[in-house]
Amino acid sequence: MPLWLELVIRVGGVLVAFLTLPLLVGQAEHKVMAHMQGRLGPMYAGAFHGWAQLIADGVKFVQKEDVTPDEADRAVFRLAPAVALVPYLLVLLVIPLGPGDLVGQPLDIGLFFVLAVVGVGVVAVLMSAWASANKYSLLGGLRGAAQLLGYELPLVLAAASVAMAAGTLSLPGIVEAWQPWWLLWQAPAMIIFFVAGLAEIRRPPFDMPIADSELVFGYLTEYTGLRFAFFLLAEYVGIVVIAALTTVLFLGGWHGPFADAQLGWLWTLLKVAAVSFLVIWLRVAFPRLREDQLQRLCWLVLVPAALAQLVLTAAVRVAL
């Protein structure tokens, strides 16, 4: 196969996943939350169980007026939604779906690349907050910056633990090195990574930067129409990315009972779906953390636990 054709197929596959999986997660969130809260929700779009409601919402956003505040920094204001989306697209390029060539672009330092790119999310938050010329947006942006910069540390430390256990920074390499007993040995790192990942994508109960009961809608207050929809899409893509990274780093990726080279991708998708469901369930089950509770959890619980897990991993590696 020519190199250019292989490149087109790989990038095309990643784009399809980028545009499809977040919609599935969004639809699942609407329906799962509706059932958990004992309500029907929209049931007409698409006829069967309202399956096309999210598509209808997208069409609605496209038709809405795109409003930019008079005092806003227009260039930065309009660029912020793209900055929120692009890092997740780049991350999906290096996450393996299955063994062999089922990855957009395999990198020997894939984990390092992922952690570096995910950290760009704070830039989009600050851009939208500062450029909106709105005090509620600015307060939400400052909260978001403090949250993202704080939770970046336990996220990196937890990922470093499993990378040290596998002896590689390659994401396919980590999956290849994974063993079932890691579910116990690396369980603290998995919990820390998952919780910190929720905070990184600002999902409830870590949604203080938005806090609609306090800040209208935080750094998103002034956004309308398609630009607002891009931020929502970034949130759902973030769920897919965190679920996929949790799957690849801690749940064995394509490994599973009766798994082979042909069905590995199915196990990966099933695990991603299960972790995504957990993200949705947490939104319904737990109230929003206060700012002091959020920072205390990060610095007094997650960071010490991540450091202890890192020491444990180093000790086990030396012993083996």
The whole-number pLDDT of residue 58 equals 79
DSSP 290: P
CA atoms of 19 and 272, how far apart (whole Å): 16
The predicted structure's pLDDT at residue 210: 84
Looking at every residue in the chain, the average pLDDT score rounds to: 86
pLDDT of residue 260: 62
pLDDT at 232: 86
Q: Are 210 and 291 in contact (CB under 8 A)?
A: no
Q: Amino acid identity of 127? A: M
Contacts 24+ apart (CB under 8 A), 294-302: 294/147, 294/199, 294/206, 294/208, 295/146, 295/150, 297/195, 298/150, 298/151, 298/153, 298/154, 298/196, 298/199, 299/150, 302/151, 302/154, 302/192, 302/195, 302/196
Instruction: Write the pLDDT tens digit of every residue in 152-190.
Output: 999 999 999 999 999 899 999 999 988 888 888 899 999
pLDDT tens per residue, range 87-99: 998 898 899 988 8
Output the pLDDT for position 193: 96
Three-state SS at 257? coil
Number of structural domains found in the chain: 1
pLDDT under 70: residue ranges of the chain: 1, 4, 259-261
Please give the backbone phi and psi of residue 313, each rounded to the nearest 5 degrees, phi first.
-60, -40
Domain hosting residue 213, numbered range: 3-319
How big, in percent rounded to 5, are the helix, strand and coil portions of the chain? 70, 0, 30
The pLDDT, as a whole number, for residue 37 is: 81
Residue 55 makes CB contacts below 8 A (sequence gap 6+) with 23, 45, 46
